[in-house]
Amino acid sequence: MESEQPRLSLRHISKSYSGNRVLSDVSLDVRAGEIHALLGENGAGKSTLMKILMGMDEIRQSGGFEGEILLDGEPVQIDSPKRAHELGVCMVHQELMLVNGFTVAENIRVGREPVKRIGRGERDAACLPIDFSRLREQAKTALERLHVELDGDMPIAELPVTQMQFVEIAREVDRPGIRLLILDEPTAVLNDEEAECLLDRMARLKQSGLSILFITHRLGEVLRCCDRITVLRDGAVAGRAESGKTSAAAIAEMMIGKRLLAIHTSERISFGEPTEEPVLQLNGFWADLPGERVERLDLEVRRGEILGLGGLSGQGKIGFANGLMGLCPSGGVVILDGRELSLGDAGSVLRAGFGFVSEDRRRVGLLSGSSIEENIAIPAMLNFGRFLRRVGPVQMIDRRAMRANALEFIHALDIRCTGPDQPAGMLSGGNQQKVCVAQALTLRPRILLVSEPTRGIDIGAKHLLLNVLLRLNREQGITIVFTSSELQELRSVCDRIAIISRGRVAGILPPDAPEAEFGLMMSGLDVKRSGV
């Protein structure tokens, strides 16, 4: 085993984006005929590593990378996806890349269509007619190699998503001279049964001698089908393991790391415990947010607590707040203080006592061309009639009251701006986020829904915002549902943390639970924890 030449060898890969180091000294070997899992949280550097491997433009444009890539022992320069294909490195991306108007067969051979030779002599293939019967034959062979039975003449748009996934894999595997197949979260959109089917096909490909680099979040899959595992964390290799000699808990701990607890204990400020009484109850709540589907949420939010919603991206934690606000189709029973809430209209939800800070502040949270004061005032003006004065039959805006309110929040949240009339779009990310929070607070909510408030803002603003949330909760008794991809953040402010996986609550943990438990829950393994 030791003497065997690795199929792919990445040596000391480092990469920075404008001074920000996203990969440092990553080395990785993939053997011939092996399924190698690459694991890591969102933002651990997996996608950047794959972009380097595929020679994406983005890498070159942002200053290239350090380190070297060896294929079967030979150093290679991969400077474009085309070059990667020539070298036999192919990738199935997370987002499906298929031509919707084409049939299955056409999709498999797209760009490599067989042509009919007409007459004698060399002619540019681009000018020759496509040989459709040969194309069908070739596509059939490619599908057979995957052991997939599919009619090559089916329009691709009519297939279920699993089958589309197979067509993509068939297309890549069919490339001449393929040596390494990269699968980027192929099971993310699949249910268990479908995922199982895919894993089975992967095992068959492996037997035919192909090396597979498998990126996933689901630890169960990894242990079942992969030979070896490399875990990335914060751009560096956090650990390696062989799947036979490790456990899901050990891998989860590698992914999440130990560092969290220290920060958590130093930041945790206790102001007395929230009551057990539920203020908000969700029964069978669903929300159809594309990419963040909530299948069925059964959850109780207690009065006065900060409830964290965590989980990997794409699992549905973002869907909760958006669905509740009626920003995507949603349904189920939502009971606030014993009264059932009617869903589908943001206005009635706001009037019932919710405040909402969207995860997407640029697109949903702000009117970037309008002034800070208008941004803050509009929802409260519409739903509670604040900042208005009557002039005859017309409701005019009370500019003075609006300004006073804005100045109050500019002071309280330390919004750095030239004044309340500055357009919100000109502020920095952190200050924009503060405007969004001010907007929600102007509604004087009983329950505040905050999603990803610290995404893309600097560390100082992050601390300030988390402190603001804590203060609101402790001093004004506002119940907060805090959604975040950063577990570290959740653990520093929340009373309880619900992990959302595949659109359901995988479990609820106290913030000081061991990191392995969080990791396992996020990875979709069934871990039930009671008494929390």
> Residue numbers of the site for another protein (CB under 8 A)?
325-327, 345-351, 356, 358, 360, 363-370, 374, 378-379, 381-383, 388, 394-397, 399, 418
What is the DSSP-derived secondary structure letter of residue 291? T
Nearer to another protein, 36 or 361 (CB): 361
Shortest Cβ 419–another protein spacing (Å): 10
521 CB burial (10 A radius; 0-12, 13-18, 19+): buried
Nearer to another protein, 148 or 346 (CB): 346
Shortest Cβ 85–another protein spacing (Å): 29
Shortest Cβ 322–another protein spacing (Å): 9
Whether the CB-CB separation of 281 and 446 falls below 8 Å is answered with no
Shortest Cβ 320–another protein spacing (Å): 14
Shortest Cβ 126–another protein spacing (Å): 32
Q: Which residue has the tokens 């200050």?
A: 431
Neighbours of 376 (CB within 10 A): 29
Nearer to another protein, 185 or 452 (CB): 452
The full DSSP string for 373-405 is HHHHHHHHHHHH-TTEEEETTEEEE-HHHHHHH
Shortest Cβ 383–another protein spacing (Å): 5
The residue length of the chain stands at 532
The contacts of residue 126 (CB under 8 Å, 6+ apart) are none
Shortest Cβ 466–another protein spacing (Å): 23
Shortest Cβ 381–another protein spacing (Å): 6
Nearer to another protein, 418 or 428 (CB): 418
The contacts of residue 401 (CB under 8 Å, 6+ apart) are 386, 387
Alpha helices, H only, 55-103: 57-61, 81-86
Nearer to another protein, 152 or 379 (CB): 379
What is the DSSP-derived secondary structure letter of residue 44? S
Shortest Cβ 273–another protein spacing (Å): 32
Nearer to another protein, 227 or 359 (CB): 359
Q: Is 377 left (phi over 0), alpha (psi -120 to 50) or beta?
A: alpha
Parallel, antiparallel or unpaired: strands 447-451 and 354-357: parallel
Nearer to another protein, 310 or 379 (CB): 379
The full DSSP string for 150-217 is --TTSBGGGS-HHHHHHHHHHHHHTSTT--EEEEESTTTTS-HHHHHHHHHHHHHHHHTT-EEEEE-S
Whether the CB-CB separation of 464 and 405 falls below 8 Å is answered with no
CA separation for the pair 211, 213 (Å, rounded): 7
Nearer to another protein, 118 or 396 (CB): 396
Sign of the CA dihedral running 218, 222, 225, 229 = positive
3-state SS, one letter per residue, for 482-508: EECCCHHHHHHHCCEEEEEECCEEEEE
Nearer to another protein, 30 or 402 (CB): 402
Nearer to another protein, 175 or 399 (CB): 399
Shortest Cβ 428–another protein spacing (Å): 15
